[in-house]
């Protein structure tokens, strides 16, 4: 097993105005499961392919353990890659597909058979070893692709959106299997996905990319609780965090008919930049619904902000209210999580206030986090 280091690694495609990956700087621990996540075109797959040796590194370096692999061919890097489309040979059996790389490497037949059987047992594929890929489901084919990587016993697993061809239920089931398998094998793994729920549920750490630039790398919990900037705040979490530009006032920020206290240092930082507004982030579960008896600026109106309910998603234990509110003279969309037992009706109006201590404050101009 080995560590993986991206040391200010960049990739610039010929004729491009900007880098597809710009000075990527990440240290991945031995045995760690790191997920690269971001929207389409952010550079996550390019980063993975740079590590695999399938893309040139124009600047910086990549190391696996103590070896500088920046300019080594893929075959000399001791990595195994699992692709989105499985890349199985249709004319070969499952066993032959799994053992093919070992056969090419000249490993004795008995050893190949043993390694394939061991991997099949781990992946629950033993009864399918004699079948051809066309006789398998998508999930089973994905497990064969995993088995082909496992038998090679590489230092690093690379996975490029391996679940995107599976249906929703199988995707959830397979991501659990992959995460459990990686922890059992202890092989350093770099996993690419555009699905932030996948990233949050699978990774020991998550690295968020945007336009080739690393935005934040952190544990899923810490990233959810303390996003580094507006982009990460809006990208991580499902449904996404509510982000609302609000005016600064004495004691906090003006949120509808209430003053919401926020980190004083954040407001001082904003004021020092000459900003009169900040962007406040509130997770859907951190809104409280008030009934007009909360602390309001005006006695004639309920506390907080009035939200007109447009759509309600009932999920059993919880419900999500998608509504429209007017804040600071601007119309904005808000998502509020409510109890599944007390879901408001479509078209009704509810008043919501952010829960104390659960707000995130960002500079509207730069997007940087201002609150602790």
9: CATH: 3.40.50.300
Say whether 332 sits in a helix, a strand or coil.
strand
Task: Please tell me whether residues 79 and 199 are part of one structural domain.
Answer: yes
Q: Is residue 218 part of a domain?
A: yes
Closest CA to 48 of 184, 207, 202: 207
pLDDT score at 1: 66
pLDDT score at 291: 65
Q: Which of 197, 217, 234 is the last residue of a domain?
A: 234
Task: Please tell me whether residues 80 and 93 are part of one structural domain.
Answer: yes
Task: Please tell me whether residues 274 and 196 are part of one structural domain.
Answer: no
Task: Please tell me whether residues 185 and 306 are part of one structural domain.
Answer: no
Query: Both tokens of residue 77?
Result: 């890097």
For residue 183, the Cα-to-chain-centroid distance in whole angstroms is 19
Q: Is residue 356 part of a domain?
A: yes
pLDDT score at 301: 61
pLDDT score at 116: 94
Task: Please tell me whether residues 33 and 147 are part of one structural domain.
Answer: yes
- Domain extent, residue 217, equals 4-234
Give how many domains the chain has, as a whole number. 2
Q: Which of 174, 205, 234 is the last residue of a domain?
A: 234
Task: Please tell me whether residues 127 and 257 are part of one structural domain.
Answer: no
**One digit per residue, pLDDT tens: the chain, 372 residues?**
699 999 999 999 999 899 999 999 999 999 999 999 999 999 999 999 999 999 999 999 999 999 999 999 998 999 999 888 888 999 999 999 999 989 998 999 999 999 999 999 988 899 999 999 999 988 888 889 989 999 988 999 999 998 888 888 888 888 888 898 899 889 999 999 999 899 999 999 999 999 999 999 999 999 999 999 999 999 999 899 999 998 888 878 888 888 888 888 888 888 888 788 899 999 999 999 886 444 444 445 677 899 999 999 998 889 999 999 988 778 999 999 998 888 888 999 999 999 878 899 999 888 999 887
Q: Is residue 371 part of a domain?
A: no
Q: Is residue 368 part of a domain?
A: no
Q: What whole-number distance in Å separates Cα of residue 196 and Cα of residue 174?
A: 16
Task: Please tell me whether residues 152 and 249 are part of one structural domain.
Answer: no
Task: Please tell me whether residues 227 and 245 are part of one structural domain.
Answer: no
CB-based contacts of 222, cutoff 8 Å, min separation 6? none
Task: Please tell me whether residues 113 and 251 are part of one structural domain.
Answer: no
Task: Please tell me whether residues 207 and 244 are part of one structural domain.
Answer: no
Query: Both tokens of residue 219?
Result: 């544990």
Residue 343, Cβ neighbours under 10 Å: how many? 17
Q: Which of 198, 217, 234 is the last residue of a domain?
A: 234
SS3 of 10-72: EECCCCCCCCCEEEEEEEECCCCEEEEECCCCCCHHHHHHHHHCCCCCCEEEEEECCEECCCC
Whole-structure pTM value: 0.89
Q: What CATH number corresponds to the domain at position 344?
A: 2.40.50.140
Task: Please tell me whether residues 120 and 249 are part of one structural domain.
Answer: no
Q: Is residue 219 part of a domain?
A: yes
Q: What whole-number distance in Å separates Cα of residue 37 and Cα of residue 18?
A: 20
Specify whether the backbone of 41 is left (phi greater than 0), alpha (psi in -120 to 50) or beta. left
Task: Please tell me whether residues 282 and 332 are part of one structural domain.
Answer: yes
Axis-axis angle for helices 109-122, 138-150 (nearest 10): 130
């Amino acid at each position: 097993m080995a560590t993986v280091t991206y040391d200010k690694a960049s990739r610039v495609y010929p004729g491009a105005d900007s880098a597809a990956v710009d000075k990527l700087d990440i240290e991945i621990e031995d045995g760690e499961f790191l997920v690269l996540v971001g929207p389409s075109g952010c550079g996550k797959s390019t980063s993975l392919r740079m590590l695999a040796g399938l893309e040139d590194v124009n600047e910086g370096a990549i190391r696996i353990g103590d070896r500088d692999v920046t300019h080594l061919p893929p075959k000399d890097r001791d990595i195994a890659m699992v692709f989105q489309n499985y890349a199985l040979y249709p004319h070969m059996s499952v066993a032959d597909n799994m053992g093919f790389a070992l056969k090419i490497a000249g490993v004795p037949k008995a050893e190949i058979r043993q390694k394939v059987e061991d991997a099949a047992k781990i992946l629950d594929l033993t009864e399918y070893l004699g079948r051809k890929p066309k006789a398998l489901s998508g999930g089973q084919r994905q497990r064969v692709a995993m088995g082909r990587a496992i038998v090679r016993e590489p230092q690093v697993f690379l996975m490029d959106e391996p679940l995107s061809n599976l249906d929703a239920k199988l995707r959830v089931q397979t991501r659990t299997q992959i995460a459990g398998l990686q922890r059992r094998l202890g092989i350093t793994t770099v996993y690419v996905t555009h699905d932030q729920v996948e990233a949050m549920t699978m990774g020991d750490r998550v690295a968020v990319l945007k336009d080739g630039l690393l935005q934040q790398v952190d544990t899923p919990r810490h990233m959810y609780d303390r996003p580094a900037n507006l982009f990460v705040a809006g990208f991580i979490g499902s449904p996404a965090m509510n982000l609302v530009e609000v005016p600064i006032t004495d004691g906090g920020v003006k949120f509808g008919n209430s003053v919401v206290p926020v980190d004083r240092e954040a407001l001082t930082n904003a004021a020092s930049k000459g900003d009169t507004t900040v962007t406040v982030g509130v997770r859907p579960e951190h809104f409280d619904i008030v009934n007009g008896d909360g602390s309001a600026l005006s006695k004639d109106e309920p506390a907080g902000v009035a939200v007109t309910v447009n759509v309600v998603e009932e999920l059993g234990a919880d419900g999500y209210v998608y509504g429209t509110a007017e804040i600071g003279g601007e119309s904005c969309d808000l998502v509020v999580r409510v109890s599944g037992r007390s879901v408001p009706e479509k078209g009704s109006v509810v008043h919501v206030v952010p829960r104390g201590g659960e707000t995130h404050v960002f500079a509207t101009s730069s997007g940087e986090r201002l609150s602790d």
